[in-house]
Structures are given as structure tokens and as C-alpha cells.
Amino acid sequence: MPKRIIFSVGFSYPIDKAKFVSFNSDQSLLDADIILFCPRILPIYSSDSDYQGKPLISESDSFRLVEDSYHWLSELKIAFDSGKTIIIFLAKLEEVFIYTGQDEHSGTGKSKFTQKSVELYNNYYSIPFDFEKIVPKKGKEIKVTKDLGVLATYWNNFSSYSDYEIYLEGKIPKPILTTKTGNKVVGAIYEGEKGSIILLPPIHYDEDSFTYYDDDGEECWTDEAIEFGKRLEFCILEIDKILQSQRIGTPPPEWTRKDEYRLKKEPILETRIKSITKNIEEFQNTLSDLLLELEQECSLRRLLYETGPQLEEAVIGGLKLLGFKAEQYKDSESEFDAIFICPEGRFLGEVEGRDNKAVSIEKLSQLERNIHEDFAREEVSQYAKGVLFGNAFRLKPPSDRSEFFTEKCFSGAKRSKVALVRTTDLFNVAKYLKENKDIPFAKKCRESIMSTEGDIVKFAPIPEKTKNRKEK
């Protein structure tokens, strides 16, 4: 049998010949002969807050997670139908909340507000099975229900490394491993006309004894790990070899492709398949472009609810719409959330999002330190004007939020003449400028930031003519 290509999706084991593929990759599985798949999504997709006690994935990563999960769901189905050997390691259940892209409206008049809709999601949405129930329970005692067949060598070598992290309830076609009680499935085999999917408990190993760092700081496998990987590779190849021998028929000789042996409908079906495949590729390219465009279009809304790097990027985007040349700054000694310049002056910004609190004096102190650190740089000849961007009580609708900055923060801002910007206010003017080319209004917004000292920036009112035009 020719050399078999192994893809390892979502996890890395010391198998020399296996290609590691990240869960957020768009890699096709048709390039592989054997697929090892582990559905882990945390911490690949960012979560800066919780919702009902579970991680709430950021808006942009919510779309990526759904897209990536659908990608693997589709790829695993195609690989299964194409005769691949697929081993899925049943990792622990990771439940998260994601943004749906839909808005929920409530209230009327001044009390009307919009809240983003979220829904529960988990890492098993990428698996092509509808499990009746996935129970997140851990255990070591595993019972073999019947003759292991193709898994005999593997289980003999790796049962001691295989602790289950979930068990399955409901109808499972061919269970092979269960909990000690015998009625909770932790391993099974699905056999199709061509391919096979094997569900197994994940393999656990001691990272301290399997990895080390070389003189260049690169993480490497130890000799013990490499030996472990060789045994694992042998067992996986043995499983694939047996499965292939059970389902492989005689390959059609080349002479059978001559016209005299082809059936009348074959070329018609081949032409249709080729046409549909081309359409699918075009639709997938269009879908990818639209999803990227939607993500970019929605990025400004992060000013209303984000924190951390996502909020910093949204602030930079908002400032650019106001006519600033804005960027984050980082070198070997300094790191600033935002440096932005315009004809009106040069500014240095600090960005902070808080879940259920106002922005405190600590962030203002950080801003002041950054201003001095920035001035100390050789290429800087004047102190930058300080601007503190705050997104307080970020998970509430803007109309329900109270103070954005603490009293101490106000006092400190007055002393250092720092401008305070509520990111919700920045969103309103940036949204207007994104939808309307209004150079004079953008200048007024920049001047408002420059002229404000020790207080919240009050941007110029959004021109009424735009509002009236929208109402018609």
C-alpha cells in the first residue's frame, strides 16, 4: 500500500508523519488518507466575558466559529463518503454563547433599546452526528463491550492513556467502549459503504516528560514522546490497513475506461458533476467574501460592547473615520493603545472596557505614564494630548448605563487636562461619518477632542438633514 498521509486536526501528538491542522484552518481533508480529529474550540476563539456562567464569544469570532465548525462538518462528511479512515477523539464538552447576528428590540419611545441576540453553541457542532445527549463527565474505568477487532492493538497499547471526558446517551449504532456500568458509551465505530469513523476517548500524556525547550526557546518532543508517537502511528496505520482491506475491491483496469465499455449516461453525469462542483466553488468564494465584508462592516459596533484588543481596534477604526491618522504602537520598550494625529494636533490614547464598573483612576495613571514614556522617545519633541476612551458597563444598552468614569478619574483628568471619550459617543459620530462624507463635521469632532480638558468630550450634534432624509 502507498504511503498514507495523516492529518491531525485540533491537537498535536508526536507523530512524525502527521500534519497538524488548526481548528480555524480552511484545509481540505481530501488531501489526507487518515484523519485524527479533536473538536476543541477554546481558547482559539476569544471570549472577554461570560453569559449565564459560560464564555461569551466575541461577535467577530462568533461568525468565525460557526463558519469553521460548518467547514469541518462538511469536510468530515465528504471524507467519510470518500473512503477515509477518521478517528474522532471525544474531547470534553465546551459550551459557549455566540452572537447570532440578529438584534432583539424591546420597549418603546425613549425606553426603547436594542440588544444583540445570543445562543448556546458547543464544540460538537463540527461532528457529523446528531448525538441524543452528550454528558460532560470524566472517568478512567472503561469497559470493552465486544471483540475490539480493528482496535485490538491500539487499545492494548493506549487504554492506560485513555480517560474519557464525556459519555454519550441514546442510540449508538456500534458501541465498543462504555463506562464501567456498561450503559454509557465512550467509544464506537460508524461504518459506511466506503469510509469509517471511530469515536475514542482522547489520549492524555504528561507534557512535562514529553516536551522541552531547546537553546533557541523552541518547544521540542523528548525521546520518550517520539517513541510514544511511533507506537501510536503504527497502531493508527494498522487500523487503517485493516479497514481498507475490508472494503477495497479490485481497482478498475485502465482499459475499462475506453468508450466501448462506458455506459451511455456516464458522460452526462460527469458533465453535471463538473458544473455543480464549479458552482459550489464560486458560491463558497462569494460566501467567504461576504462574510469578511460583513465582519468588517460590523467591526465599528465593537465600540458599544467590547473590551481589550477588540475594543482598541474599534477605537482606531472610529478615529480614522474622524479623519485621524491612527495606529497602535509597540516596540521593544513601549506599547500604547493608540497614537493618532491630525492637523489639530497629536494625541495618545488609553482604551478601557469594564463589565459592570466605571473606568477608574488606574487607567488614567497608566495614560499619564504612557505620555511621559512617549515624550522620552528620541523622535518625539512635544507632549501628546492624552485621551482616555472608556466603555463602562459594556454589556448593558447605552441608554441603561450610568457613569462612565469615576469621580477620582474626573479629578485626575482635570489636573492633567486629559479628554475623556465615551466609546458609545464615538460610535454615534463614527457611524454617521462612515455613512456620510462630511469633512466639516469630522473636523468639528477632532476639534472637540482637542479642546476638551478634564471632562467628557461633547461631540457636535449629528446634522439634522441626514436624520430627516432617513425618516422620509
> Nine-digit cell at 306?
467590547
Reported confidence tier of residue 1, pLDDT bands at 50, 70, 90? low
Q: 98 - beta bridge partners?
A: 119
Per-residue pLDDT of 294-345, as tens digits, reads: 777 778 888 998 888 888 989 999 999 999 999 988 877 778 889 999 988 8
β-pairing, 419-422 with 385-391? parallel
pLDDT exceeds cutoff 80 at 105? no
Q: Which amino acid is at 12?
A: S
- Residue 358's CB is within 10 A of a number of other CB atoms, namely 19
Cis peptide before 55 (omega within 30 of 0): no
Is the torsion defined by CA of 227, 232, 237, 242 positive or negative?
Answer: positive
CA distance 87 to 154: 12
Per-residue pLDDT of 345-369, as tens digits, reads: 899 999 999 888 899 898 899 899 9
Q: CA nearest 125: which of 134, 136, 116?
A: 134
How much is the pLDDT for 251?
A: 54
According to the per-residue pLDDT averaged within each range, which of 170-184, 196-210, 254-268, 411-425 is highest? 411-425
CA distance 251 to 441: 72
How much is the pLDDT for 466?
A: 46
Reported confidence tier of residue 36, pLDDT bands at 50, 70, 90? very high
